[in-house]
Structure 1
Amino acid sequence: MISRNPRRRRTLIASAALAVATLFAGVAPAAQAAPEARSDVFIRDNGNDYGYEDSSGSLYSSPDVRVCFTQILCATDDPIVQGGDAFIHVTLNRPGPYGDGYEKGNLQVWYTKQGTVAQWPNQWNYIGSAADVDVPYGTKTVVIPWKVPIGSHFCLLARWLSPTDLPTEGLSTSINTRKNNNIAWHNVNAVPAKIKIPQFRPIVFGWDGREPTAVGDIVFTQPGKPFTGPGRITINLGPDLAARWRAGGAKGEGIERVGETELAIVNPQKARISGLTFKSGEQVPAQLSFTAGAEALGGKYTVHVTQVDQRGNEVGGVEYRITGVQ
């Protein structure tokens, strides 16, 4: 009989590769456990995530991953300083819905360019890990130090691995995150937006699936109090992405062309750049700018930049948390 529990099926399928996978994860191979004896530690994809697979809702701004200046958990992500020291706080939850067995595991953290897509594992860079982590009933926060590289802004990926709680992974980071409750993606960027002085943030778009090409849209949304109005958001597509947009008919909504390759976001509810074609494995660069007006001083805003495929399914995104400063 075929099991209807996806985690039970995954445990059986993964058994042949268990020794290799656990060596990579830094934990010793163990005898195959019965499904009801397996552990199930999960990292939330969003505030409404209780560990069920596939997860629903946003998948790129996990509340269980946070970047702070110190080893003390910060209330929200601190703006990282390139070349400086930071601490990545990852909160682990136990038990999840697929088992309550106890075992120690290994927490890994990786980084990639700030953007909506990245193929696993070749477009990710290893930061560090914590081995033999003991997760009690409830939650446990693990802190991993990070020397922030110079040259860009970054997305983070947290992976929990234990002998009976290994992820099943393919090329697509978004699919891996959606289908595995022990993988979490954190694409959050803190932006101190200065009055009349643009703050620039690099971002990459592309395609992380196996299909040779894909067509998708870039969508801007501003939940809560909008930044557009008190402030200004533009995106410089660059010559490559701008040429693709024109080749697709220069379609969109809630946007205004303000330069040869630059667009302004004029609709705070939803703005969309449509009809972009990407090859598998591409990461095409663009640049965002955030400029605060006087009315934005002291205000706090959230902007989501999301990539969706031609069926409207979310591929990935970045959450920008903006504070208006002098």
Structure 2
Amino acid sequence: MISSHPRRRRTLLASAVLAVATLFAGVAPAVQAAPEARSDVFIRDNGSDYGYEASSGSLYSSPDIRVCFSATVLCATDDPIVQGSTAYIHVTLNRPGPYGDGYEKGNLQVWYTKQGTVAQWPNQWNYIGSKLDVDVPYGTKTVVIPWKVPIGSHFCLLARWLSPTDLPTEGVSTSLNTRNNNNIAWHNVNAVPFKIKVPVIRPIVFGWHGPDPATVGDIVFTQPGRPFTGPGRITIDLGPDLAARWRAGGAKGEGIERVGETELAIVNPQRARISGLAFKAGEQIDAKLSFTAGAEAAGGQYTVHVTQVDQRGEEVGGVEYRLAAERQ
């Protein structure tokens, strides 16, 4: 594992003001002049990310990381992976970023962990592989790293770009590392093929990965675009531990309905929230999601976001589920 060192980043006040102004105008900020020796390659956190730190918007579904069946063809969306098979992780690198336009080779690393909203860095992440001495021209370059998929079929991915003048500053919180470093990106996207009236189960992990010893937070469900709730049904089985914590916190929430001792149904497709969950630092608590499509869901494609927020309402992490009818 390559050790991390703090990197020095300084931008002129005029550049920062221009960046903010252009972002609010809805256009990409112009790349500012920087010393030629300083390189700045970045991986986007979301479609509106131009490499500025700290980034804003979604953290956990980077469009520059994609998992495909093919090593040579970039898939339009993630292909469903199968344990024991070889998948190919395509990572798109962007140059230049806003902090330097110098040319420099670097190394790309990819890591994985269990599918969920949290994982402490680095002890809860597993190394997949690297590409060394990668040169990135002006524009973009896609690097492919093969992955022998381990037991299980639902994982989170983390990509890290490392070069002599472009190293991340990292702590234990994956979400803070991702937001504060433009050469770290997180990809928690799960392709969910469904059959009509057949439940599809997906494991998910909740917990706390920050430096504080404990926190209280919420689990939030949103369904941008056409909602799956209605044409289909979503439930979450919290399991005995998390369900007991939820009851101890007053069984608070909105847009949910209790349907079992540990199970809740999502009844509001716009927004549902399970509130008041207490976590200790380093915890990872298993739960299960169930997606069941009704007949009216046939032919549709749906997106469901499951996000964990802390007691300040700040995003800790999440998973994006993309549901579509199973290929025949």
Judge same fold: TM > 0.5, yes or no. Answer: yes
Where 2:8 maps in the other structure, the secondary structure is helix
Counterparts of 1:297 and 1:202 in 2: how far apart (Å)?
Answer: 24
TM alignment of 1:148-167, pairs within 5 A: 148-167=149-168
Aligned counterpart, 2:261: 260
TM alignment of 1:128-147, pairs within 5 A: 128-147=129-148
TM alignment of 1:35-54, pairs within 5 A: 36-54=36-54
Instruction: Check the 8 A contact 2:7/2:167 in 1, yes or no.
Output: no
Counterparts of 1:123 and 1:164 in 2: how far apart (Å)?
Answer: 27
Where 1:269 maps in the other structure, the secondary structure is coil
Going from structure 1 to structure 2, the CA distance change for 1:209 and 1:35 (only over 3 Å counts) comes to farther
Aligned counterpart, 2:18: none
Deviation at 1:10, TM superposition (A): 8.0
Give yes or no for the alignment of 1:285 onto 2:286.
Answer: yes
Going from structure 1 to structure 2, the CA distance change for 1:171 and 1:10 (only over 3 Å counts) comes to farther
Amino acid at match of 2:45: D
Instruction: Check the 8 A contact 2:35/2:101 in 1, yes or no.
Output: no
TM alignment of 1:76-95, pairs within 5 A: 76-95=77-96
Where 2:175 maps in the other structure, the secondary structure is helix
Going from structure 1 to structure 2, the CA distance change for 1:51 and 1:9 (only over 3 Å counts) comes to closer
TM alignment of 1:84-233, pairs within 5 A: 84-233=85-234
Q: TM-score, normalised by structure 2?
A: 0.89
Instruction: Check the 8 A contact 2:229/2:267 in 1, yes or no.
Output: yes
The CA RMSD measured in Å over matched residues stands at: 1.5
Deviation at 1:8, TM superposition (A): 3.4
Where 2:246 maps in the other structure, the secondary structure is helix
Aligned counterpart, 1:19: none
Where 1:189 maps in the other structure, the secondary structure is strand
Aligned counterpart, 1:276: 277
Counterparts of 1:236 and 1:194 in 2: how far apart (Å)?
Answer: 20
Where 2:318 maps in the other structure, the secondary structure is strand
Instruction: Check the 8 A contact 2:35/2:102 in 1, yes or no.
Output: no
Counterparts of 1:315 and 1:102 in 2: how far apart (Å)?
Answer: 34
Counterparts of 2:277 and 2:325 in 1: how far apart (Å)?
Answer: 32
Where 2:178 maps in the other structure, the secondary structure is helix
Amino acid at match of 2:264: L
Q: Percent identity?
A: 87
Amino acid at match of 1:55: S
Amino acid at match of 1:48: S
Amino acid at match of 1:210: P
Q: Which runs of 4+ in 1 moved over 6 A?
A: none
Amino acid at match of 2:166: D
Deviation at 1:210, TM superposition (A): 1.0
Instruction: Check the 8 A contact 2:81/2:153 in 1, yes or no.
Output: no
Query: How many residues align structurally?
Result: 299
Counterparts of 2:164 and 2:230 in 1: how far apart (Å)?
Answer: 52
Amino acid at match of 1:114: Q
Query: Which structure 1 segments of 5+ residues have no match?
Result: 1-5, 12-33
